Structure 1
Amino acid sequence: MTEPHYFLAVPVSKMIQNIYQRNQSELMEAYSFKQWVHTEDLHITVAFLGGLSKEKVNQVREKTRLAMQKLNKVAPFSLNLSELKTFGSEQSPRILWVEIEGDLGALHEIQQTISNVCTGLELKTDKRLYRPHMTIAKKWMGDSRFSVYLSPFKNAKTEWRVDEVCLMEINPRVNPKYKIIERFQIGDE
């Protein structure tokens, strides 16, 4: 049996989930992707951890908790959504995502802190430049060239307060796929 996979992420607010849910059918009609993210699975990945043993998960929990406690110069902060973007080929993208704006300095500091935790635990981390985003769909299936013409988040009031990072377990056989294993508070609250 393979080990469950995990990641650390910033959750989005209920308000963001509601905006996505209100616009999901219009987005699905406009953009032909095979998989659409379940409303409760929306998040901003900070670090993908992959398959981990229970022992390694416990180490991640302990070290992340300690690192977040030491990160006292970062207080809860605000983020908001912006434009739709893609990863992959322009004509046939792999991922449809929403750009994140707001206090990206705080988010990058948290991501770097967690990346250091992962390195200290000898976990493989993504070496690419961190690009915070909220994935909403995967695997373009369209017959024609992809183009963004609908972007319901850009002009909506989407600001939310970020006050935690969550350790998430992935269960690909159910919907929603992600389960919060532990919450780590940001700042002195």
Structure 2
Amino acid sequence: MNTMTMVRLFVAVPIPSEIKHVVANWIDELKKELPFRKWVHPDDLHITLQFLGDTPSEDVSQITKALQELSTASSPLSLRIDSLGYFGRSTQPSVLWAGVGGNVKGLQSLHNQVSSILAPLGYKPEERAYHPHLTLARNYAATTPFNRERLNHFAVPTFINGDLLTWKTSTITLYRSHLNKQPMYEVMYSSIGS
């Protein structure tokens, strides 16, 4: 009997290590004030383009080939970290995130291109609107309702010299999720970008 091996995959824009380092320090500050059950490991920070879910391992080469073709046509995006936000109920958010600013139209276009090239392979994009972000934490855990006004008290992190956290990238990465592991994400493919 042939059992198919499944891998949990998603396509994303990776975050440069120097940005991850600054965001990791920001997360340490946020943890002191915002009680969420699970905080993202800094190595796992990324901007999701498309979630693929449980995927037969033999499909990885086709997905990789499609992403390679797309990455040769991609031009660099200038991105930055923006203010905090959340998904879920306003009194008990399911996700705390940092918004992404800069060339958001270019990021939206890249999301659409990824969706288009993977659709013939059977991967349908989510129906909800694309909202680029970096997930920082999951599952608000306090007994008192979440106060969204508190998010305004946390300044967006900057580099030591005070510059905004901006970077340029044309890299597209295919990640595999490993549940109950830190860090959770393993790079399966990454385009050569800046």
Task: Answer yes or no: same fold by TM over 0.5.
Answer: yes
Of 168, 172, 177, which residue of structure 2 is paired with 1:170? 177
- How many residues align structurally? 184
**Structure 2 residue runs without a partner (length 5+):** none
- Stretch of structure 1 that moved more, 28-37 or 122-131: 122-131
Question: Which position in structure 1 is the counterpart of 2:45?
Answer: 42
**Structure 1 residue runs without a partner (length 5+):** none
CA contact (8 A) 1:23 1:152 kept: no
Alpha-carbon deviations, 1:135-189, whole Å to 9, x = none?
Answer: 0000011122212243332666200111201000001132100011111245xx8
Question: Which position in structure 2 is the counterpart of 1:142?
Answer: 142
SS of 1:52's partner is strand
Of 159, 168, 184, which residue of structure 1 is paired with 2:191? 184
Question: Which position in structure 1 is the counterpart of 2:81?
Answer: 81
TM-score (norm 2): 0.88
Q: How far 1:42 sits from its partner (Å)? A: 0.3
Q: Which has the higher contact order (CA 8 A, sep 6+)?
A: 1
Runs (4+) of structure 1 moved beyond 4 Å? none
- Inter-partner Cα distance in structure 2 for 1:87 and 1:174: 23
- Inter-partner Cα distance in structure 1 for 2:84 and 2:174: 26
Question: Which position in structure 1 is the counterpart of 2:121?
Answer: 121
Question: Which position in structure 1 is the counterpart of 2:24?
Answer: 21
- Inter-partner Cα distance in structure 2 for 1:129 and 1:178: 24
Question: Which position in structure 2 is the counterpart of 1:161?
Answer: 168
- Inter-partner Cα distance in structure 2 for 1:123 and 1:23: 35
Q: How far 1:25 sits from its partner (Å)? A: 2.3
CA distance 1:50–1:103, shift in 2 (3 Å):
same
Residue identity in the other structure for 2:134: M
TM-score (norm 1): 0.90
SS of 1:142's partner is coil
Question: Which position in structure 2 is the counterpart of 1:102?
Answer: 102
CA distance 1:144–1:172, shift in 2 (3 Å):
same
Q: Provide the aligned C-alpha RMSD in A.
A: 1.8
